[in-house]
Amino acid sequence: MNREAPPLELELVGMIEAAGPMPLDRYMALCLGHPLHGYYMTRDPLGRAGDFTTAPEVTQMFGEIIGIWCMQCFELMGKPQGFDLIELGPGRGTLMSDLLRAARAMPEFLQRVRIRLVEMSPVLRAAQEKSLKDAPATVTWHDSLDGVPSAATLLIANEFFDALPVRQFQRLKQGWAERAIGLGDGKLAMGLVPTSVKLPDWTADANDGDIAEMRPAASHWGASIGERLAHNLGAALIIDYGHLRSCLGDTLQAVRHHQSVSILERPGETDLTAHVDFAALGQAIHSSSAKIWPAMTQASFLHDMGLELRAGILGRNASEADKRDLSAAMERVAGPKQMGHLFKVMAATSPGLPRPHPFSG
């Protein structure tokens, strides 16, 4: 083994030598969340100095528009006396900070809100604490949604589900096999192991070599969101990149320094994500009787919520250079060739809550 290999790679090799090939979702979970060497546990991955950039880091308009959506839902909920504003995977706290700034337009919202952040990374928790040090409400941190007390809820999840571990299955002539991480010449290598897992009906037309992805962790989180909304008045907004219908395909990708790399390259130092199956996630949320409103593209959501209007207000007295920056930011988050069409937005509400704008029934 190369002495310069990351410590997590050495540990993974030892685990595989002792117990055999490791299912892909276990590998991904360790790469991202290992308590000592996991990607999210040891670094701030955002921005130019990191590995990727999220929409809240591109423009303040993104979080402000989500703030407007939350204020609308607060009104639909009848302005409860107290409610939890929950964000899953809050990054640096940028989205929440921008959301709360927009919410100044509705004093009742800020007077009644409790901010709850679900975050496992100590590095990002520190960044969130700094971003929200002047927040107009109490901020608490939680390791999971299950640890948040039951209450009226507004929940936001932006680029949270794409980082949850996936399992992959490959169609062979004799049936399905599961992809796993083993060893080849003492190094990490991708391979296949037998499986008895019953795959969903949408895999029935698979051909030899086709890949099917499943995300049990997303189903668990989705069911938790649905159960919360079924028992507490509230709404959830989920934003991520992915597909509206369950389909075949290998979407697992690794990014390091904003460049695509092998998923086996420097584990613990490389970001791993896969596209979100919004159909499966919606089913998990709906399993507890929460209402799902059909997902739309991020471009449609932002435009329908007034992106151009907000940009016009910000650019009213701006310099020409700042106006160009605003235009570039709009294109980045809503342009069809950038985040606008790849990213989808889905809403869920308590049963009986009126339809939130701009979703259709």
- The pLDDT tens digits for 27-56 are 999 999 999 999 998 888 776 666 778 999
Beta-carbon contacts of 29 under 8 Å, excluding residues fewer than 6 positions away, are 165, 217
Q: What is the Cα Rg of the chain in Å?
A: 21
Q: What is the pLDDT of residue 1?
A: 45
Q: What is the pLDDT of residue 147?
A: 92
The dihedrals phi and psi of 173, each to the nearest 5 degrees, come to -60, -35
pLDDT, tens digit (0-9, with 9 covering 90-100), for 199-213: 999 999 999 999 999
Instruction: Say if 355 falls within a structural domain.
Output: no
Instruction: Say if 360 falls within a structural domain.
Output: no
Instruction: Say if 2 falls within a structural domain.
Output: no
On whether the CB atoms of residues 62 and 330 are closer than 8 A, the answer is no
Q: What is the pLDDT of residue 361?
A: 72
Q: What is the pLDDT of residue 3?
A: 55
Instruction: Say if 359 falls within a structural domain.
Output: no
Q: What is the pLDDT of residue 49?
A: 64
Hey, which bits of the chain come out as E strands?
Answer: 22-23, 83-88, 113-118, 139-142, 153-158, 167-172, 175-184, 187-194, 211-214, 234-243, 253-256, 259-261, 271-273, 276-277, 291-297, 343-349
Q: What is the pLDDT of residue 53?
A: 86
**What sign does the dihedral 103-329-90-360 (CA atoms) show?**
positive
Strand pairing category for 83-88 and 234-243: unpaired
Q: What is the pLDDT of residue 47?
A: 65
Query: CATH number for the domain including 274?
Result: 3.40.50.12710
Q: What is the pLDDT of residue 27?
A: 98
Q: What is the pLDDT of residue 50?
A: 66
Instruction: Say if 357 falls within a structural domain.
Output: no
| Domain hosting residue 73, numbered range | 7-349
Q: What is the pLDDT of residue 253?
A: 96
Instruction: Give the number of domains in the chain.
Output: 1
Instruction: Say if 356 falls within a structural domain.
Output: no
Instruction: Say if 71 falls within a structural domain.
Output: yes
Strand-pairing partners, residue 231, are: none
Instruction: Say if 93 falls within a structural domain.
Output: yes
Positions of the chain with pLDDT under 50: 1-2
